């Protein structure tokens, strides 16, 4: 779950460590990395309804899966969002706590 306007965890990464938090790749590169590592090539892209148009952001959910196994990757991109926790501050279209809970609750041991 990342905001495209996050000033702490930069959406485009920080390969030169200009922010002092350590060098890191862009968020899209990391999502691609994990989708590949988890072998989840199938993508379903969902645009979450903009129920709070005054919050200045929208949410896109990318669900990566595979017909070969049960592994999955969900990525929430908060377009226009900052370093926020959706549902508490920043984006109000989703409740991040509930979304995380729903993801993990759906995983069978």
Checking if the pLDDT of 20 tops 80, the result is: yes
Which pLDDT band holds residue 56 (cuts at 50, 70, 90)?
A: very high
- For residue 1, what are its two tokens? 């779950």
- What confidence category does residue 93 fall into, taking pLDDT thresholds of 50, 70 and 90? very high
Identify the pLDDT of residue 108: 73
Model confidence at 109: pLDDT above 90: no
Spatial contact of 50 and 93, defined as CB atoms under 8 Å apart? yes
CB contact at 8 A, 27 and 11 = yes
Mean per-residue pLDDT for 39-65? 97
């Amino acid at each position: 779950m990342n905001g495209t306007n996050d000033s702490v965890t930069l959406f485009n990464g920080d390969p030169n460590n200009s922010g002092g938090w350590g060098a890191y790749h862009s968020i899209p590169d990391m999502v691609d990395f994990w989708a590949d590592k988890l072998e989840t090539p199938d993508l379903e892209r969902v645009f979450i309804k903009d129920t709070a148009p005054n919050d200045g952001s929208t949410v896109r959910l990318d669900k990566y899966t595979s017909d070969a196994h049960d592994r999955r990757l969900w990525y929430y991109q908060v377009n226009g969002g900052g370093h926020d926790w959706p549902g508490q501050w920043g984006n109000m279209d989703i409740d991040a706590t509930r979304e995380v809970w729903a993801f993990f609750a759906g995983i069978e041991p």
